[in-house]
Structure 1
Amino acid sequence: MASFSFHHFLFSLLLLHLLSTTSSAASFRPKALVLPISRDSSTHQYTIKLTQRTPPIPIPLTLHLGGPFLWVDCDKNYISTTYRPARCNSAQCSLANSKSCGTCNSPKRPGCNNNTCGLFPENPFTNTATGGELASDLVQITSTDGSNPTQIVSVPKFLFSCAPTSLLNGLAKSVQGIAGLGRTKISPPSQFSSAFSFPRKFAICLPSQTESVNGPGALFFGDGPYKFFYETDLASLLTFTPLVTNPVSTGATSFPGEPSSEYFIKVNRLRINDKVVPINQNLLSIDGNGNGGTKLSTTIPYTLMETSIYKAFISIFVNELRITNVTIVKTIAPFKVCVDPNTFPGSRGSDGVPWIHFELAGASQPWTLIGGNSFVPVKKDVSCLAIMDGGNKPRTSIVIGGYQLEDNLVQIDLARSRIGFSSSLRLSRTSCSMFNFTSKA
């Protein structure tokens, strides 16, 4: 443990030196940063805008919770006086765990030469990856006191990867790259933490499909408080479970022996109301080949369950619907269970829908999903269960998708290797769209 702490201390010093915040940031040390999260209805992707380059411009990016780093399209109109390629064998290359040198093959990209260390940016929506270059540039972001945005701060040497325009295929319209928030040394949570010396934590609060018109969700870097619309600090709602490390990376850019940058948790038991879903417990653990377990994803729209888990889940869930006389209607592909939402009894829970409880390792209470996270409106008078069959032998047994994370505050504490869940904020009469982005202290 002492050896780990010492190496982590050296890593923090190195990253702090590489990022070296500007004088304006040095005189004002924010305790946290914040960005609005939007939801693209046509792709189900969650997007942010991160200000980058000199002169600075807002760059639309798709969020990838488990992605290893930030990458942007550098082929098309990348102009910046503060762009710097990372030279082979440099400290930046070591920090990024680069495995290649001189990979630049596009003269359109700034700094393209044969002395730049390479990374392999990935598009998880098309499951493709390609060669790209490691570089740094100025990034600006708004700080927060937990209730409001405050002043803008800068990181002049923020590490990212350049990528070709072709890698944008499948991303939301106007998006220019992906913001990977995964467990790596150069992901935005790690870089911002080291630049401003605040805790290695971040939190996401995804806006819901039904309420996104009322306002964006929020992405926080650093610790709370998280006060939405001047309400009580939502950090008080969090229940924690340990992060589980998958020893085998599952991404298209992975190398042998590398752990996954994605976020896994241990589900001990799954309940629907008070009914326990029978599950082969081996599926809930990660084996030596990286198979099994449960992970969180913002790139999968709806939760996926291994077939045997899904069948057991559906059997109990549909029975609970029938007990309350909910009208089950003809299914609409790709969904398997659809209902008339007008027949939900208001006395059953908060919205008449059976509650889904994930009992997590080490957690004092379960993480609970209510109706707004289980049924998605498909057309007039038809809503369908947004939980899907993930197949017989998926790499991960349960993938909790973005729809199930909406209107839930989720804090990822990298320093203490744990994740905190609020359960549905609707139970506290608030939502992820209620953070006050309009006022500045």
Structure 2
Amino acid sequence: MASSQTHFFLLFLSFLISDTFSEQPSTPTALVLPISKHALTLQYTTILSRRTPLVPLNVVVDLNGPFLWISCDSTYNSSTYKSVQCHSPLCSLAHSNKLGCNHYNTCTVFSKNVFTKKVSAGELSEDVLSLNSTNGLNPISMVSIPQFLFSCAPAFLSRGLASGAKGVAGLGHTKIALPTQLANAFNFTRKFSMCLSPSPNDPGVIFFGDGPYVLLPGIDISKLLTFTPLIQRPRDSNEYYIRVKSIRVNGKQVPINSSLLMISTVNPYAIIESSIYSSLTRVFIEEALAANVARVESQAPFDVCFSTKNTNGAMIRPGVPVIDLVLQNEKVFWRIFEINSMVPVGNDTVCLGFLDGGLNPRASIILGGYQLEDNLLQFDLESSRLGFTSSLLLRETDCASFNFTN
């Protein structure tokens, strides 16, 4: 954990140094952030540069979060900090059709820690936010938004976050989440792309704006995207959903009805509604056993586990079935390979990284972080569509292969 935080801090310093020697472009077309997996909590974190003077701030990334909230304790000092006034246009922007005010006549928003489920009122505020622009190949220079909106929340709300994290960066489909604020500030297209690395020591990457998105050894992964429509639910309008028409395991149809799938960086593993989970695991087990993969005892929190040894005790790669999430038609599917479906749990055992979500999960299918790692996802808010690649390992690259040096 310490090495991961040190790596992030060195990245931050390199960005500041690059700003000293690089001319800041007046209108960047894309921005870039590192994103790292926290080994203990399995949360994904990034570092933002905030305040005046600039300070590196470690925050957890919530793909579906409505905005950036930060725990504002006594150490939050900034000469450019400003509270948003009640009944102001910015307050209306944050609250859509209803206003929230406190007794100081400042705008109030409710911040939620999605891991502890605790909610608290916070003061809608403005301050400087700086991050690196990019040409898709490397970071170029630091650029700043002088009046970036965020919630100044009580310090206790950060309990339960990854060590050192002081808040949550929401990337949801709202007017004050990071993607929309950044696109509006620099007048580029409302797109962002996320590529999660499974390694706590080697960060993945988030791009704000359009491609190219080039990973070593020089592969523009934006050219690999397949697209499917994003679905918005009125009561969960900030969250990202797609429609799954069917599921196949090794080409064999799993009997399910058309279902909504939610994409999440908060859940470490996939969560499936009970009836779908039962159908999926039944077919998956049948296909694995047909490939002579030995099933073994469950390992919490997973139900379906297999041995990675054969009967003679030699190590093997199990003949793990592939899972296809069939989207708008039979030709458009998101293929989940072993690397994103099977979780090593020790003792020569791997388990299916899909959990039974009961009868009423938030969505019928929730893909968690493990299923997203080393996949590129592009959220096109202009065209309301999701781009996805399946595992980049098949393309001889991975999400830790963006060149963060300048």
The normalised TM-score by structure 1 is: 0.83
8 Å CA contact 2:85–2:106 kept in 1: the answer is: yes
Among candidates 238, 241, 258, match of residue 225 of structure 2: 238
Is the counterpart of residue 66 in structure 1 residue 70 in structure 2?
A: no
Q: Which amino acid aligns with 2:250?
A: N
How has the CA–CA distance of structure 1 residues 363 and 134 changed in structure 2, closer, same or farther, with 3 Å as cutoff? farther
Contact 1:189 1:202 in 2 (8 A): yes
Three-state SS of the structure 2 residue aligned to 1:77 is coil
Q: Which residue, 164, 168, 183 being the options, matches 2:158?
A: 168
- Checking the alignment, whether the CA contact within 8 Å between 1:120 and 1:129 is kept in structure 2 is yes
Answer whether contact 1:71 1:162 (CA < 8 A) is retained. yes
Aligned pairs for 1:255-334 within 5 A: 260-281=237-258, 284=259, 293-334=260-301
Q: Which residue of 1 aligns with 2:373?
A: 406
In the alignment, structure 1 residue 379 sits paired with structure 2 residue 342: no
Give the Cα–Cα distance (whole angstroms) in 2 for the partners of residues 363 and 430 of structure 1: 27
Q: Paired residue for 1:90, among 88, 91, 95?
A: 88
Between the aligned partners of 2:25 and 2:307, the Cα distance in structure 1 is 57
Number of aligned positions between the proteins: 379
- Match of residue 199, structure 1, among 176, 189, 199: 189
Distance apart, 1:127 and its partner CA: 1.6
Q: How does 1:87-126 map to 2 (within 5 A)?
A: 87-97=85-95, 99-103=98-102, 114-126=104-116
RMSD over equivalenced CA pairs, Å: 1.8
Residues in 1 aligned to 2:161 and 2:307: alpha-carbon distance in whole angstroms: 32
Find the partner of 1:136 among 123, 126, 136.
126
Distance 2:309 2:226 in 1: 33
Aligned match of 1:415? 382
Q: Contact 1:241 / 1:362 at 8 angstroms: preserved in 2?
A: no
**Alpha-carbon distance change, 50 to 351 in structure 1, aligned in 2, over 3 angstroms:** farther
Q: CA offsets, 1:362-407, max 9 Å, x none?
A: 6853111111101111113111111000001223111111110111
Give SS of 2:194's match.
strand
Is this contact kept in 1: 2:288–2:320, CA < 8 A? yes
Change in 2 beyond 3 A, CA 1:425/1:343:
farther
Q: Distance in 1 between matches of 2:328 and 2:123?
A: 39
Give the whole-Å Cα distance in 1 for the aligned partners of 2:232 and 2:101.
32
Is 2:208 the partner of 1:221? yes
1:88–1:115 Cα contact (<8 Å) kept: yes
Report if the CA contact (8 A) 1:100-1:119 is conserved: no
Structure 1 stretches lacking a partner, 5+ long: 1-23, 104-112, 250-259, 285-292, 345-349
Does the CA-based 8 Å contact 1:239-1:364 persist in structure 2? no
Letter in 2 for 1:62: V
Tell me which residue corresponds to 1:20.
none
Aligned partner of residue 235 in structure 1, secondary structure: helix
SS at match of 1:87: coil
1:188 has 2:178 as partner: yes
Contact 1:341 1:383 in 2 (8 A): yes
2:403 corresponds to: 436
Q: Which amino acid aligns with 1:356?
A: I
- Structure 1 residues 363, 164: CA separation in 2 closer, same or farther (over 3 Å shift)? farther
Seen in structure 2, the aligned counterparts of structure 1 residues 118 and 269 have a Cα distance that, compared at 3 Å, is same
Native 8 Å contact 2:226 2:387 kept in 1: yes
* Aligned amino acid, residue 108 of structure 2: G
Check if 1:127 corresponds to 2:125: no
- Supply the AA of the counterpart residue of 1:269: S
Do 1:351 and 1:370's aligned partners in 2 also have CA atoms closer than 8 Å?
Answer: no
* Structure 2 unaligned residues grouped into runs of 5+: 1-21, 312-316
Using the TM superposition, give the Cα deviation of residue 102 of structure 1 relative to its aligned residue in structure 2, in angstroms. 3.8
Amino acid at match of 1:183: H
Matched residues in 2 for 1:426 and 1:46: separation? 20
**Local SS of the residue matching 2:256:** coil
Identity %: 47
Task: Describe the shift of the 1:122–1:362 C-alpha distance in structure 2 as closer, same or farther (beyond 3 A).
Answer: farther
Shift of 1:27: 5.1
Judging by fraction of residues, say which structure has more strand: 2
CA distance in 2 between partners of 1:138 and 1:230 (Å): 35
Aligned partners of 1:59, 1:229: CA distance in 2, in Å?
27
Residues 75/100 of structure 1: CA separation in 2 closer, same or farther (3 Å cut)? farther
Residue 36 of structure 1 deviates from its aligned partner by 0.6
CA contact (8 A) 1:241 1:363 kept: no
Change (3 A) 1:305 1:79: same
Match for 1:180: what amino acid? G
Distance 1:152 1:27 in 2: 9
In the alignment, what sits opposite 1:155? Answer: 145
Please say if 1:426 is aligned against 2:403: no
SS at match of 2:222: helix
The whole-number CA distance in structure 2 between the counterparts of 1:362 and 1:120 is 39
